[in-house]
Chains A and B, each alone.
Chain A
């Protein structure tokens, strides 16, 4: 089975965000970058599929030089091959999708995370699937493959959906799909010297333009009460008369 896993590098969620001088992007200095947490589930699923069905797992990312670090993590976890599609421009999601599609076409299964925790777009798996004319199922919490038949459990608002599809296909991983392994120290060391294939991106014009980035303003009342019985009655009064939510 030819398995591709798409992974992305994101700022650590505890990062304090400041706006860059261009007024449109995040200032990058002092920011710690990590492997997108959902992509750990994607990598793990790829590795487990390889164990069950044989084949190779390739990790691919679109990003700058610093993204090599997450590819090394994927190699340490056990993927066979790593590809960096070089992009220093911070391009839009369509650019990323187009470039991923170009690289992963011909694979049997493509695995994504459900969302990357920088922009939380939840879009990449469906975009790449559409470009390649493949079926896709997002937010998979269980995946079963039998021959070319694929059955996926998917979390939706009202419960759990069962979705039937077939290989080749695209999946995005929800938490609970598996338990990602921790890379072992010797594997981390070995991964440092493994090759990372670099590719130049194919050009495509962006479809969405960022006009500005701002830090959100909070305009909350911020009335702080104690815990006496009178305070509890006061809270109920405020919710009823002032906020009018009950």
Chain B
């Protein structure tokens, strides 16, 4: 049986949803799964046990409290050795993308980033990932004994499944060299839900015509409890911040519902959102490429459709 170490990140008193997704994805391969936290406690681990986590290591070290990416990588690699795992899995978010390649080098393991499906029908797991802006998908397998993978957030669904939990402390051996990099501050995006973490994303493009019309996009997002996204065209025009840009050179999102308003559907935009579960496109040009990947489309003027759609949704959702 495969053994998989899942790196778990905390969120509030529980775990990030992307970590819960990783627990579910790892468990679904039939492997025995071991969780590892570097900034968590027993309460956070317990929230993992609701998703089937039965073993969890809690690592403690001063450099981990300072969130040194090097110390986190060292810790995960040491735990992977101690637990003799075949795979190390974590979310393909800003943390995972930064530390996972280091862990692969430390373990002399293959590295497969941004995985969207895992196939465990043979004893070595085959992972699929999108390449060339999602225009192709490759199936990959490590040739090494161990393999490190990051999973694209929101693609695997976290499933509830109660388990009884065993927690133990893990004390890593970390040299002071790993203290050469430290997070010293974080300025939060005030009160805003990030596109990459939202269940619903409503994005606007050049078809919104002017920055003063953008409230139409925001109001629809608000009614749905979602986040606001943007195409690069409107970010480059200075209407919206780069943090909202969806696409190959912006953020990758896979929400349950993605609504593209006045966005043509250039391949670089599709790269960032084509793994969304349900896609709605609103565009006045019925030939716009965005309709090719849409589940539902509305052909018409977004400036007229958006306020009406927001109204209908508001009354439907509040019934």
Contact = CB atoms under 8 A, between A and B. Distances in A.
Interface of A: 11, 13-17, 19, 24, 26, 37-38, 92-94, 97, 117-124, 126-127, 129-131, 133, 135-139, 151, 154-166, 169, 175-176, 205-216, 218, 220-227, 229, 231-233, 235-236, 238-240, 243, 245-246
A235 B257 contact: no
Interface string B292-305: 11111111110011
**On chain B, which size bracket covers the interface?**
35 or more
Contact of B298 (A13, A122, A160, A231): A231
Nearest to B317: A246
Given A216-B136, A221-B295, A232-B309, A243 B278 contact: yes
A137 B212 CA distance: 36
Contact of A135 (B110, B181, B185): B181
B297 A225 contact: yes
Interface in B268-319: 268, 271, 274, 277-280, 286, 291-301, 304-305, 308-309, 312-313, 316-317
A225 B224 contact: no
B197 A123 contact: no
A123 B101 contact: yes
A173 to B, nearest CB: 12
Shortest 6 CB-CB contacts between residues of A and residues of B: A227-B300, A162-B185, A207-B110, A126-B101, A130-B105, A135-B180
Contacts of A37: 249
Contact of A165 (B100, B102, B181): B181
Given A208-B140, A213-B137, A232-B298, 20 more contacts: A13-B133, A17-B136, A94-B111, A120-B114, A120-B130, A126-B99, A127-B111, A130-B102, A159-B189, A162-B183, A164-B181, A209-B142, A211-B126, A211-B139, A214-B136, A214-B139, A216-B136, A223-B295, A227-B304, A232-B305
Overall SS of chain A's interface: mixed
Given A207-B109, A210-B139, A211-B139, A162 B309 contact: no
Q: Does more than half of chain B's interface fall in helix, strand or loop, or is it mixed?
A: mixed
Given A17-B135, A225-B298, A175 B242 contact: yes
A156 B313 CA distance: 32
Contacts of B182: 163-165
B83 to A, nearest CB: 21
28 contacts: A13-B267, A94-B104, A118-B132, A119-B131, A120-B248, A123-B97, A123-B113, A126-B98, A129-B102, A130-B106, A136-B181, A137-B69, A139-B98, A156-B186, A159-B186, A159-B188, A161-B186, A163-B181, A209-B143, A216-B134, A220-B294, A222-B294, A225-B297, A226-B298, A226-B300, A227-B300, A239-B278, A243-B278
B86 to A, nearest CB: 14
B97 A245 contact: no
B98 to A, nearest CB: 5
Contact of B135 (A137, A209, A215): A215
Nearest to B180: A135
B166 interface: no
B196 interface: yes
Given A239-B278, A246-B317, A213 B138 contact: yes
B299 A226 contact: yes
B184 interface: yes
B186 A160 contact: yes
A17 B181 contact: no
